[in-house]
């Protein structure tokens, strides 16, 4: 298997975040380094033997400031250079990387090349950095091919040792090098001494089609996390937000909510008005099953739809994407009920 083609060319898009920082020797403060001189900071890149071009955001963006504008810029860069490169590595702050990966997976329709997001917990310019390993392995994965075909032609996150489907991933630790997990979908690859791919888990469209980039995301989406004793005033003010089109409702366990009549009638009134309310569990792993308990069934009766085993990040990005395509509430509900790019597991009926 030819997984390390010598001549592969990779476009490295640096958006911002810790990975691209070095310590200023005089002041001791962290500042972004010049990606045009990438090989000075990561001389190991020469040994990989690939052509790596860098394209940094100017100025770099902390991932807390990432959103539809930044996602659009990444999509424009990938679409604009799509035919010139074998794969793409996006360096990104870790804090909202799971949202960006989810959004890109929807915005890059018919993707046929790897888009690997990575970052680090420690800046690339400090001694114990995890950034170099993450960067070098992400580039290897983006370049990996077999018989001229990329091994992982989907949007994914590589972190520490794991390659995960981007729209299945969550940031789960603020300190550990092992900061991301994919609870509801198996790893696409594990990087130990060798990079072991599980190709049976990689998304591959039946018929390759030309890339179809999308740029519009609708911001009229909200996220509401239930907790015991929540005030109905808060629920009402979220549900009655002017212009709101979609809501991700984070519920308990397998999709349960209090059987509070006030809550249920607020939800029913909102779904009757056309708001799309998607039920996502607050648990890290597992699936929403609203039929399982009375407390879930009441949500179904109130017009809430299941988000199955989707992550919150992916459900938010999917709603933004679907409404961004100008779809009606009924169309959005239909698409929430199916997997577009492997983001949910829909149980067989
Ligand atoms: N605040 C940074 C960011 O998300 C942290 C990081 O890069 O990991 O941009």
Domain span at residue 313 reads 221-336
Query: Does 342 reside within a domain?
Result: no
Nearest CA to ligand 1 atom 3: 93
Q: Quick check: 111 pLDDT over 70? A: yes
Report the pLDDT value the prediction gives residue 3, as an integer from 0 to 100: 62
Query: Does 348 reside within a domain?
Result: no
Nearest CA to ligand 1 atom 8: 94
State the distance from the centre of ligand 1 to the C-alpha of 66, rounded, in angstroms: 10
Nearest CA to ligand 1 atom 5: 93
Q: How confident is the model at residue 127 (pLDDT cuts 50, 70, 90)?
A: confident
In this predicted structure, which of 28-32, 105-109, 162-166, 175-179 has the lowest mean pLDDT?
28-32
Query: Does 343 reside within a domain?
Result: no
- Closest ligand 1 atom to residue 19 Cα is 7
Ligand 1 pocket test target in 17, 70, 96, 122 with most atoms within 8 Å of CB: 17
Report the pLDDT value the prediction gives residue 28, as an integer from 0 to 100: 80
Same domain for 255 and 174: no
pLDDT in tens, 23-66: 777 888 877 878 777 778 888 888 888 999 999 999 999 999 99
Mean pLDDT of the chain: 94
Q: Quick check: 255 pLDDT over 70? A: yes
Domain boundary among 184, 213, 242: 213
| Strand ranges for the chain from DSSP E | 9-14, 21-23, 30-32, 51-56, 87-91, 108-109, 115-118, 145-146, 149-150, 155-159, 162-165, 170-171, 180-181, 189-191, 195-197, 212-213, 221-225, 246-251, 276-281, 305-306
Query: Does 329 reside within a domain?
Result: yes
Average pLDDT over residues 142-162: 96
> What's the CATH number where 236 sits?
3.40.50.40
pLDDT in tens, 194-242: 999 999 999 988 788 999 999 999 999 999 999 999 999 999 999 999 9
Q: Count of domains in the chain?
A: 2
Residues 6+ apart with CB under 8 A from 289: 254, 255, 296, 306
State the distance from the centre of ligand 1 to the C-alpha of 62, rounded, in angstroms: 6
Pairwise pLDDT comparison (22 vs 132), residue with the higher score: 132
**312 classed as catalytic:** no
Same domain for 138 and 230: no
Ligand 1 pocket test target in 119, 125, 157 with most atoms within 8 Å of CB: 119
Tokens standing for 189?
């690859």
Ligand 1 pocket test target in 15, 62, 117, 123 with most atoms within 8 Å of CB: 62
Using CA atoms, how far residue 287 sits from 31, 188, 240, 283, 310, in Å, is 42, 20, 28, 9, 8
Q: Quick check: 2 pLDDT over 60? A: no
Using CA atoms, how far residue 183 sits from 157, 285, 311, in Å, is 14, 5, 9
List ligand 1's pocket residues with C-beta within 6 A: 16-18, 62-64, 93-95, 119
Report the pLDDT value the prediction gives residue 5, as an integer from 0 to 100: 63
State the distance from the centre of ligand 1 to the C-alpha of 117, rounded, in angstroms: 13
Pairwise pLDDT comparison (311 vs 129), residue with the higher score: 311
Same domain for 206 and 229: no
> What's the CATH number where 109 sits?
3.40.50.1170
pLDDT above 70 covers a percentage of the chain that reads 98
Domain boundary among 155, 190, 213: 213
Q: How confident is the model at residue 4 (pLDDT cuts 50, 70, 90)?
A: low
* Residue 250 β-bridge partners: 225, 280
Same domain for 332 and 230: yes
The candidate with the shortest Cα–Cα distance to 245, out of 313, 325, 301, 308, is 325
pLDDT above 90 covers a percentage of the chain that reads 82
pLDDT in tens, 267-283: 999 999 999 999 999 99
State the distance from the centre of ligand 1 to the C-alpha of 133, rounded, in angstroms: 17
Query: Does 341 reside within a domain?
Result: no
Query: Does 19 reside within a domain?
Result: yes
Question: Kind and range of the H or E element at 39?
Answer: helix 38-41
Same domain for 231 and 82: no
Query: Does 286 reside within a domain?
Result: yes
Report the pLDDT value the prediction gives residue 193, as an integer from 0 to 100: 94
Q: Quick check: 99 pLDDT over 80? A: yes
Residues 6+ apart with CB under 8 A from 207: none
Report the pLDDT value the prediction gives residue 126, as an integer from 0 to 100: 83
Query: Does 227 reside within a domain?
Result: yes
State the distance from the centre of ligand 1 to the C-alpha of 176, rounded, in angstroms: 13
Same domain for 322 and 260: yes
Average pLDDT over residues 298-326: 97
Q: Quick check: 18 pLDDT over 70? A: yes
Q: Evaluate whether 52 touches 38 at the Cβ level (below 8 Å).
A: yes
Same domain for 13 and 144: yes
Domain boundary among 213, 242, 258: 213
Q: Which of 15, 18, 100, 137 is catalytic?
A: 18
State the distance from the centre of ligand 1 to the C-alpha of 172, rounded, in angstroms: 13
Same domain for 138 and 16: yes
């Amino acid at each position: 298997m030819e997984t390390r083609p010598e001549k592969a060319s990779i476009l490295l898009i640096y958006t911002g975040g810790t990975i691209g920082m070095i310590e200023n020797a005089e002041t001791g403060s962290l500042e972004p380094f010049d990606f045009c001189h990438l090989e000075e900071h990561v001389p190991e890149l020469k040994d990989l033997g690939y052509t790596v071009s860098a394209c940094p955001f100017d100025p770099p963006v902390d991932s807390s400031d990432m959103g539809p504008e930044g996602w659009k810029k990444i999509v424009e860069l990938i679409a604009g250079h799509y035919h010139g490169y074998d794969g793409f590595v996006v360096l990104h702050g870790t804090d909202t990387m799971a949202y960006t990966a989810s959004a890109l997976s929807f915005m890059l329709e018919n993707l046929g090349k790897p888009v690997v997001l990575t970052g680090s917990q420690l800046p690339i310019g400090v001694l114990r950095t995890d950034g170099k390993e993450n960067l070098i392995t992400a580039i290897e994965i983006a370049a990996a091919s077999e018989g001229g075909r990329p091994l992982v032609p989907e949007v994914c996150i590589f972190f520490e040792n794991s390659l995960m489907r981007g729209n299945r991933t969550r940031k789960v630790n603020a300190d550990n090098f092992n900061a991301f997990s994919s609870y509801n979908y198996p790893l696409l690859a594990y990087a130990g001494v060798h990079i072991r791919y599980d190709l049976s888990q990689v998304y591959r469209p039946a018929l390759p089609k030309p890339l179809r980039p999308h740029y519009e995301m609708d911001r009229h989406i909200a996220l509401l996390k239930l907790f015991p004793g929540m005030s109905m005033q808060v629920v009402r003010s979220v549900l009655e937000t002017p212009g709101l089109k979609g809501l991700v409702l984070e519920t308990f366990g397998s999709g349960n909510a209090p059987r509070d009549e006030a809550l249920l009638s607020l939800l029913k009134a909102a779904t009757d008005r056309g708001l799309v309310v998607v039920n996502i569990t607050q648990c890290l792993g597992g699936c929403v099953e609203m039929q399982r308990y009375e407390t879930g069934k009441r949500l179904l009766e109130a017009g809430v739809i299941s988000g199955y085993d989707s992550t919150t990040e992916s459900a938010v990005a999917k709603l933004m994407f679907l409404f961004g395509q100008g779809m009606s509430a009924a169309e959005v509900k239909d698409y929430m009920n199916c997997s577009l790019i492997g983001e949910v597991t829909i149980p067989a009926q």
